[in-house]
Amino acid sequence: MSWLNELFHVKKPIIAMCHLQALPGDPRYDATKSMEWIIEKARKDMNALQNGGVDAIMFSNEFSLPYLTKVEPITVACMASIIGQIKNEIRIPFGVNVLWDPEASIDVAVATGASFVREVFSGVYASDFGLWNTNCGETVRHQHAIGGSKVKLLFNIFPEAAKYLVDRDITEIAKTTVFNHQPDALCISGITAGAETSPSILSSVKKAVPYTPIFVNTGVKKDNVKQQLAIADGAIVGTAFKKNGLFFEEVDQSRVEELMSVVSELRNM
């Protein structure tokens, strides 16, 4: 787990999601509001997260629904612009996730100096977005071709709203993914953003690949974070940090502080 310690400097790091508002080109984009409004919303959420005590932040185009598996250039340009304009205020490590395009995620990471990305890098899935195919070999070669070799890759091997095209056990997928692709970490999810990740699945994956960091990817909240982090090496948290725990709301710093207080207790045990 050395890279976790080197990057985050804590046990069981909590990566908080900074969900960007719908961007130009997205169906939910409000053309009456400027990019400056989107930037200010991102700045406000980012500061609430880091002032609330999280260990890292991951920027994503979460409100670009419905998602693409190959995003348009405007999305990459907007995300790089937003992060670039608030980067000097970021005091903790940060990453990016351009949903659901692994090469675009790496592009934005290299352009902004992000330390990590989360994506679906491998596998073929039947999903809400159609037939979801990947080519990890091409993606990793792209990463190295553009100078992104230091960017850590967090593989989502149990992606939301999708199922492996053939019936494979999750532990089998974890083992072959680690062997074939050498991910920096694996992410295990529930069925949608905010949906609790199964502790039994989490435990099975951790036992199958004990030397690979495992992040619980969805559904972590104040009431279950101790249980989830008893198994996982870290967590990625989005919805639980928002006002009333609702996906489309803004970040509520008091909720961030409450969850991080529980995490602090766990680290001191």
Q: What integer pLDDT is reported at residue 226 of this predicted model? A: 96
162-164 sheet: strands from edge to edge:
130-132, 125-127, 162-164
Buried b (16+ CB within 10 A) or exposed e, 23-55: beebeebeeeeeeeebbebbbebbbbbbebbbb
Please check the confidence at residue 1 and state whether its pLDDT lies above 80: no
Query: Rounded to 5 degrees, what are φ and ψ at 99?
Result: -75, 130
Cα-to-chain-centroid distance, residue 61: 11
Q: What integer pLDDT is reported at residue 264 of this predicted model? A: 97
Query: Which position has the token pair 């999305």?
Result: 75
Please check the confidence at residue 192 and state whether its pLDDT lies above 80: no
| Contact predicate 102/120, CB 8 Å | yes
Per-residue pLDDT tens over the stretch 141-177:
999 999 999 999 999 998 888 889 998 999 999 999 9
| Both structure tokens of 209 | 């690949």
122 Cβ contact list (under 8 Å, min separation 6): 134, 136, 155, 157, 177, 180, 181
Q: What integer pLDDT is reported at residue 158 of this predicted model? A: 80
Q: What integer pLDDT is reported at residue 11 of this predicted model? A: 95
- What does the H/E/C string look like for 68-123? CCCCCHHHHHHHHHHHHHHHHHCCCCEEEECCCCHHHHHHHHHHHCCCEEEECCCC
CATH number where 196 lies: 3.20.20.70
Directed axis angle between helix 73-86 and helix 35-51, to 10°?
50
Please check the confidence at residue 191 and state whether its pLDDT lies above 70: no
Please check the confidence at residue 38 and state whether its pLDDT lies above 90: yes
| Contact predicate 44/86, CB 8 Å | no
Mean pLDDT for the stretch of residues 91-104: 98
Strands (DSSP E) found in the chain: 14-19, 56-60, 94-97, 116-119, 125-127, 130-132, 152-158, 162-164, 185-188, 214-216, 234-237
Query: d(Cα 145, Cα 52) in Å, to the nearest integer?
Result: 37
Q: What integer pLDDT is reported at residue 160 of this predicted model? A: 82
Please check the confidence at residue 248 and state whether its pLDDT lies above 60: yes
The DSSP call for residue 220 is: -
Query: d(Cα 25, Cα 153) in Å, to the nearest integer?
Result: 27
Q: What is the number of domains present in the chain?
A: 1
Domain that holds residue 127: 2-267
Mean pLDDT for the stretch of residues 194-218: 93
Cα-to-chain-centroid distance, residue 159: 11
Q: Cα dihedral sign for 152, 109, 102, 167?
A: positive
Q: What integer pLDDT is reported at residue 172 of this predicted model? A: 96
Q: What integer pLDDT is reported at residue 194 of this predicted model? A: 66
Per-residue pLDDT tens over the stretch 112-149:
999 999 999 999 999 998 999 999 999 999 999 999 99
